[in-house]
Amino acid sequence: MGIVKITDQLHEQLRLASSAMDRSINAQAEFWIKIGLLAELNPNLPYNDLINKLLLDKPDLIRGRG
């Protein structure tokens, strides 16, 4: 596990989102990082498809083969 430094503003957004989604702040940050990574690797996929594939745990997304 590592430490990632973020702005106070982003931390506040994480805190609010984690509360609304019933996740820890770390779990919310990890979720956002995964979505961002998948979006960059699969720019042709809309957000809903990324979420569906993430929830189905498709390993091909990480390899950029959505």
Evaluate if residue 64 carries a pLDDT over 90. no
pTM over 0.85: no
HSE of 44, CA atoms in CB hemisphere, 13 A: 4
pLDDT at 27: 94
**pLDDT, tens digit, 9 for 90 and up, residues 3-52:** 889 999 999 999 999 999 999 999 999 999 999 998 999 899 999 988 88
Cα separations in angstroms, 20 against 24, 26, 41, 46, 62? 10, 14, 27, 23, 27
pLDDT at 16: 98
The DSSP code sequence of 3-37 is -----HHHHHHHHHHHHHHT--HHHHHHHHHHHHH
